[in-house]
Chains A and B, each alone.
Chain A
């Protein structure tokens, strides 16, 4: 079970990023809980300055723009 947090104030790209995480995880058969964080203060406190940001099990793995699917698969399958 991986705990994924998607940081973003709710712009279109942030929603797409969340959807990408959801789709990629279900394709890989990886169980995830996705939490969307839209509050500016929490986003900043996580160290995210360009949104969307993606955090997996407490590690910030990506900020700014949409991630590449190949990389997303790598993060979701990493132990």
Chain B
């Protein structure tokens, strides 16, 4: 009967062959432009009446290099993710996870958390949909933690701005925290701390939307509308993040950075988590800051802890979840996830 589109309204009239041919053309243009970014940013920096080596010169160079770079990366990542995610839906994920009580339900949920399209405004109906379909609470938490924590935007930008090694470390540990935290929360038998009305819903709501087959052109359209929607929404956060990154890069002395965020100061990891949790931004906004921090010699563990707590634990999300979770459960949730983040931070400060 109908299809389940997860994109925005699609502009009508573009024929299928145009979608297919614009893919290689778009990719080619993207790569050519991406290769010119250093030349472009140095050229723009020279237009300013400042010394290239001065604080201001460094900050301006960072800003004008990072803004086009991050936006280009963001467009590419959001597009590819949008296309990939068109094969997944919350309904399919629920069907896969329903009744998975074995241990491997947790990593499976974490993996699906990364691949399933959902926005934070749907997290409450999604949570209820999962729990009422008999998906264990811990497995549901693994899903909900992994989604933002190891989202493709964060990983892709980390890869593009700070390199594949740190991106891989982040992926492995973010994924592990989602899996283990879900497992630990699952073992604590927390069902009694759900809001009363959620516990009483034990009938699995039916009403799956019939999912018609999408052509590859349809999936490309979904990717394109995702770019429009998401990049249109986050670009301001990105610019503000890069501005903060540029100021750190240009003006914060390395000695000060080593004192505050160096590996020698034991309290830097908990402090980073304490600062990160109430900070509200998204992966795209925080990674330019991470880039600048690491460039100034901040310890990897401290920086990872900061980034993870900003992305994975956000107060607005907790306020949304308050509708279904009691304060006690939210506190346990934050404590378990923070413990995982702290452990990751300390581990990396110790071994690197």
Contact = CB atoms under 8 A, between A and B. Distances in A.
A65 B6 contact: yes
Interface in A1-37: 7-9, 11, 13-14, 20
A68 B89 contact: no
A59 to B, nearest CB: 9
A13 to B, nearest CB: 8
B2 A50 contact: no
Contacts of A41: 128, 197, 201
Given A9-B124, A62-B2, A69-B9, A45 B205 contact: yes
Interface string A54-74: 000000111111111111001
A40 B127 CA distance: 10
Contacts of B122: 9, 49-51, 64
Size category of the binding interface on chain A: 20 to 34
A51 B121 CA distance: 8
A20 B10 CA distance: 13
Given A61-B1, A69-B12, A75-B2, A44 B89 contact: no
A75 B205 CA distance: 22
- The A contact surface, by secondary structure, is mixed
Contacts of B3: 71
Interface string B200-235: 010001111100000000000000000000000000
Contacts of A51: 119, 121-122, 125
Contact of B8 (A14, A48, A50, A65): A65
A46 B89 CA distance: 17
Contacts of A61: 1-2, 209
Contacts of B77: none
Contact of B201 (A8, A13, A44): A44
A64 B90 contact: yes
Given A11-B119, A50-B122, A51-B122, A68 B10 contact: yes
Interface of A: 7-9, 11, 13-14, 20, 40-41, 43-51, 60-71, 74-75
List of 8 A-B pairs having minimum Cβ-Cβ separation, nearest first: A47-B207, A44-B128, A11-B121, A49-B129, A49-B90, A47-B205, A65-B6, A40-B124
